[in-house]
């Protein structure tokens, strides 16, 4: 097993005091999750809150038919705002989460949430800041859907994806992209072709190289 204390300190040490770090280490459950794994599904009850140490998680809205739409990504140092409201309100999750890369995280039992809010100022600040950041990202997602045309959305999607994986070579299919953007594969293929002709990307089977970052 890896030394999770040092991981914790590296990612959250500048935010939390030692006491809190120690307590997190004591009650938190350290987990490694492989790439492309469902972490939370719509309708599930959430029993613990994740602190992301490494990797990226895709957060998406999903309806009962499995129709989906990507909202935003979580990266290291983040936590999921939905779990905050779910933990406090005891409601079912209204979003789904899938690991985009291999992910390392620490699960905090939900009982500790409220306790730490009162006990540690740094925890309170972290939760508030995190909530704020997620709301901002949600607004950005809404703007993207409402004001950007499909071709712009697609290019933004590719850039975001390259960003979070730190790799300009994206391994995915047109079908997967169309699912994430909630459009059809044919549309994605056409627009990707256009982007390639504009010299912004290079297409291969099962992968896309982003050129204009």
Partner DNA sequence: ACATTAAGTGATT
Partner DNA sequence: AATCACTTAATGT
Report if residue 206 touches DNA, rule: CB under 7 A: yes
Report if residue 147 touches DNA, rule: CB under 7 A: no
Segment near DNA (CB under 7 A); pick from 70-78, 81-89, 99-107, 147-155: 147-155
Report if residue 205 touches DNA, rule: CB under 7 A: yes
Residues 152-191 interacting with DNA (rule: CB under 7 A):
173-175, 182-187, 189-191
C-alpha distances in angstroms, 159 versus 47, 95, 103, 197, 208?
33, 23, 20, 17, 11
Q: Which one of 10, 203, 211, 212 is in contact with DNA (CB under 7 A)?
A: 203
Segment near DNA (CB under 7 A); pick from 13-21, 72-80, 118-126, 203-211: 203-211
Sheet hosting strand 29-33, strand order edge to edge: 29-33, 103-109, 48-54
Q: Which one of 71, 103, 192, 201 is in contact with DNA (CB under 7 A)?
A: 192
Using CB under 7 A, count the residues that bind DNA.
20
Q: What are residue 79's DSSP bridge partners?
A: 51
Segment near DNA (CB under 7 A); pick from 46-54, 80-88, 110-118, 201-209: 201-209
- Residue 131 Cβ vs DNA, minimum distance, rounded to whole Å: 31
Segment near DNA (CB under 7 A); pick from 66-74, 118-126, 161-169, 202-210: 202-210
Report if residue 193 touches DNA, rule: CB under 7 A: yes
* Residues within the interface to DNA (CB under 7 A): 149-151, 173-175, 182-187, 189-193, 203, 205-206
């Amino acid at each position: 097993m890896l030394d999770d204390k040092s991981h914790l300190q590296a990612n959250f040490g500048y935010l939390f005091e030692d006491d809190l770090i120690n307590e997190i280490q004591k009650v938190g459950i350290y987990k490694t999750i492989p790439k492309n794994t469902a972490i939370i599904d719509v309708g599930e009850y959430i029993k613990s809150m994740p602190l992301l140490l490494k990797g990226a998680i895709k957060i998406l809205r999903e309806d009962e038919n499995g129709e989906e739409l990507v909202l935003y990504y979580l990266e290291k140092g983040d936590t999921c705002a939905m779990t905050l409201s779910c933990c406090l309100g005891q409601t079912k999750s209204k979003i789904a989460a899938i690991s985009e890369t291999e992910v390392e995280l620490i699960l905090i039992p939900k009982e500790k949430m409220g306790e730490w809010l009162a006990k540690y100022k740094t925890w309170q600040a972290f939760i508030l800041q995190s909530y704020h950041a997620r709301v901002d990202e949600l607004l950005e997602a809404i703007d993207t859907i409402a004001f950007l045309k499909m071709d712009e959305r697609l290019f933004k999607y590719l850039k975001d994806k390259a960003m979070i994986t730190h790799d300009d070579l994206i391994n995915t299919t047109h079908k997967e992209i169309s699912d994430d953007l909630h459009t059809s594969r044919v549309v994605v293929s056409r627009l990707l072709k256009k982007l390639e002709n504009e010299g912004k990307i290079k297409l291969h089977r099962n992968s896309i190289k982003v050129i204009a970052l």
